[in-house]
Amino acid sequence: MSEPLLSNDTLVRRIVRRYILPGILAQLGVKIGNVINTVIVGQLFGREGLAVISLVSPIELVMMSVGSLICVAGAVHAGYRVAKNDTDGAGEYYSASFWAVIISGLVLSLFGLIFAPDIALMLGASDTEFVGNINQVVAVTLYIRALLCGGVFMCAIYLPLNFLKVVGLPNAAMHMLFIMSGVNIGGALLFTTVCDMGAEGVALGTALSYAAAFIYGQIMMKRSDSGVKLKHPGRYIIKSAKGLVSGIPSALNNILRALLALFVNLIVLNILPGNPSDMLSAVAVLNSVMGILNAFVFGISQSTLQIAGIAYSERDYKTVKLAVKNIFILGNVIVLALAAVIIASSGNIGTLFGAPDTPASAFACICAGCYANLYLCNNILTNFFSATKRNLPAIVIVALRLSVYMLVPALIICVLTGDGIGIWIGYFSAELLAIITISVYTHIKRKKNPLLSRFLLLDEGKLKDISSKNFSVTAAVDSAVLASEKITEFLEESEIPMKKIMRVSMAVEEIVLLVKTHADIDEDEYIDFRIFKYSSSDIVFLRVRFGGKDFNPVKYSYAHFDDDESDAFGMNMLLKLTDNVTYSRTLGVNNLLLEI
């Protein structure tokens, strides 16, 4: 008879894998549009067209900043509610996010459509440079207006991307990739070649792709059986303001990246010598490479928000640590492989986008590959701080990374060398200095409070009044017996009456077999147990977490409550001993919490 694991590491690894790949692919659905646009524009309109793409890039980032501010915050708080089985409360945050992001998107789009010529000039478009047969200011204006035809969806795309994960449907978020990519490619080619619209046809294809993906995401949200439903507007819009602070790091990341893109363009246009179109095309190439890198980094790091956030709300610090550890390990392996590909192909990337393979674009890609893993680690930690309600350090770190830590080294080196090398080194220095800042911050916090855990700063002093046992067993008959023995040990240590111990122990065996049968779990898959008790109370809490298909043991048990011959007998017996029992499905797994 094999011993069970003494931690829930296996189940946590499975949850992390379940969320990371869909997270990456879902983010690719958002980022790949920029890459597709750059390839099409570069091949059809050359470096002048790429210059337009580079100048317009801050617009999309601003729209997405507003969306992430509202929707990431709403999803974090909805996740807290789902963890407490409060689907109605989660629905309120979902509704608040929906109406707030739609209204914000409409207002911003209308503003951009009206003032597009002024925005084009502000972004650095010139009256003297031309794209095809039209003035560059006109080209940028047309591009902005075509893009903002889908501006509301550009903001709102973060709604399904985040909330589909909350309700346990990360694969649905992943499917948005295929919809966005297909519509973007098809629309861009249709409008630029068949309709002969010029570069703005590419922007219109992008607008349609955001709309199609958003509509699909909302259909999947409506079809989910999570109980998180859209409510009518009204007080829910006001409610969205309560938790916006949780979304500030993600939104600030996009806003500052937009400003950073604007400053980089200004440096190229006003400080560096030579033909600005050559350098702007190199910037456009780097932005496209960064789009791919961002999809991986954001897809991996934002898994921390859902997984660590829900576990943190349950005060399950062991799962929090395991989740972050697994995200770090798996994420860094994936990004390291991607960085190697970027560096190896740095000399030929420009050709793909219709731009010359200059030393500037090659060096930029090499720098991106070198700081990729630092970039990932910073994003994981800032998302973790947001998930665990340490929003201020998350905000400060993001602000420093994308302002002082990047721009100061970049400007100094650009002035000293007279070329664009400083821009690429500035990106590297930003990530390195941010890691150093986080290390100093965590050291200072732990010096003030030694009970904080290393690096993650979990306040383990809050757990001193809790005794607990975490373990996992396979869904097999002998494992059911071992689970019962572990639970019995804990109950005896907690001085629970022997009669209750025996009944609970027997019921636990029955639960393992019930779950194995009805959740379609194989014998080599794991069921996670956590049993804990507060020193100030006689109540014992038992949490059972398992994968497989949706299966509510409580609902099944009540349906067979009077049938002594059914396989729900053990669960029925346990229900008679409980003061309260709740079931929820979070992170794509089933959760059962009983108060004994």
Consecutive H or E run containing 586: strand 580-586
Q: Which residue is associated with the tokens 């998180």?
A: 228
Model pTM?
A: 0.67
Question: What percent of the chain is modeled with pLDDT above 90?
Answer: 5
Is residue 337's pLDDT more than 90? yes
Q: What pLDDT is attached to residue 2?
A: 35
Q: What pLDDT is attached to residue 79?
A: 74
- Per-residue pLDDT band for 240 (boundaries 50, 70, 90) equals very low
- Per-residue pLDDT band for 254 (boundaries 50, 70, 90) equals low
Asked whether the beta carbons of 376 and 332 are under 8 A apart, the reply is: yes
Q: What Cα–Cα distance (Å) separates residue 595 from each residue in 214, 468, 557, 575, 581?
A: 40, 14, 16, 9, 6
Over residues 112-126, mean pLDDT? 84
Q: Are residues 473 and 433 in the same domain?
A: no
With DSSP H G I counted as helix, E B as strand and the rest as coil, what are the percentages for the chain, rounded to 5?
A: 75, 10, 20
Mark out the alpha helices in 314-358 (DSSP H runs): 317-344, 349-352
Q: Are residues 433 and 472 in the same domain?
A: no
Over residues 340-360, mean pLDDT? 71
Last residue of a domain, one of 389, 419, 448: 448
Over residues 364-382, mean pLDDT? 87
Consecutive H or E run containing 246: none
Asked whether the beta carbons of 57 and 205 are under 8 A apart, the reply is: no
Q: Are residues 559 and 501 in the same domain?
A: yes
Q: Which residues pair with 466 in a beta bridge?
A: 534
Q: Which residue has the higher pLDDT, 508 or 130?
A: 508
- The full length of the chain comes to 596
Over residues 433-452, mean pLDDT? 87
Q: Across the chain, what does the average pLDDT equal? A: 76
Last residue of a domain, one of 448, 478, 497: 448
Q: What pLDDT is attached to residue 58?
A: 77
Is residue 453's pLDDT more than 60? yes
Last residue of a domain, one of 392, 414, 448: 448
Q: Which residue is associated with the tokens 């030579």?
A: 274
Alpha carbons 50 and 268: distance in angstroms, whole number: 14
Extract the tokens encoding 290: 């960064």
Q: Which residue has the higher pLDDT, 537 or 342?
A: 342
Lowest mean pLDDT among 179-188, 246-255, 399-408, 461-470: 246-255
Is residue 279's pLDDT more than 70? no
The count of other CB atoms within 10 Å of the CB of residue 421 is 18
511-566: pLDDT as tens digits: 777 777 777 777 667 788 888 777 767 777 888 888 777 788 777 777 776 666 66
- Per-residue pLDDT band for 592 (boundaries 50, 70, 90) equals confident
Q: Are residues 299 and 392 in the same domain?
A: yes
Q: Are residues 434 and 475 in the same domain?
A: no
Asked whether the beta carbons of 74 and 93 are under 8 A apart, the reply is: yes
Lowest mean pLDDT among 8-22, 102-116, 131-145, 571-585: 8-22
Is residue 251's pLDDT more than 70? no
- Per-residue pLDDT band for 64 (boundaries 50, 70, 90) equals confident
**Closest to 579 (Cα-Cα) out of 536, 528, 539:** 539
Is residue 336's pLDDT more than 90? yes
Alpha carbons 483 and 509: distance in angstroms, whole number: 7
Alpha carbons 255 and 399: distance in angstroms, whole number: 10
Is residue 37's pLDDT more than 80? no
- Per-residue pLDDT band for 1 (boundaries 50, 70, 90) equals very low
Q: Are residues 371 and 437 in the same domain?
A: yes
Domain coverage including residue 295: 9-448
Extract the tokens encoding 369: 């590959």
Q: Are residues 443 and 479 in the same domain?
A: no
The verdict on residue 455 lying in a domain is no
Q: Are residues 323 and 274 in the same domain?
A: yes
Over residues 311-333, mean pLDDT? 81
Task: Tell me how far the alpha carbon of residue 209 is from its chain's centroid.
Answer: 20
Q: Are residues 370 and 471 in the same domain?
A: no
Q: Which residue has the higher pLDDT, 513 or 29?
A: 513
Q: Which residue is associated with the tokens 């000039």?
A: 121
The count of other CB atoms within 10 Å of the CB of residue 378 is 25
How many structural domains is the chain composed of? Answer: 2
Q: Are residues 191 and 280 in the same domain?
A: yes
245 secondary structure, DSSP code: G
Alpha carbons 354 and 49: distance in angstroms, whole number: 10
- Residue 559's domain is classified under what CATH number? 3.30.565.10
Treating both helix axes as pointing N-terminal to C-terminal, what angle do 158-166 and 303-313 enclose, rounded to 10 degrees? 40
Is residue 7's pLDDT more than 50? no
Extract the tokens encoding 157: 């795309």
Is residue 51's pLDDT more than 80? no
Q: What pLDDT is attached to residue 426?
A: 84
The verdict on residue 310 lying in a domain is yes
Asked whether the beta carbons of 82 and 228 are under 8 A apart, the reply is: yes
Lowest mean pLDDT among 385-389, 391-395, 403-407, 532-536: 532-536
Q: What pLDDT is attached to residue 106?
A: 92
Question: What percent of the chain is modeled with pLDDT above 70?
Answer: 76
Q: Are residues 168 and 281 in the same domain?
A: yes
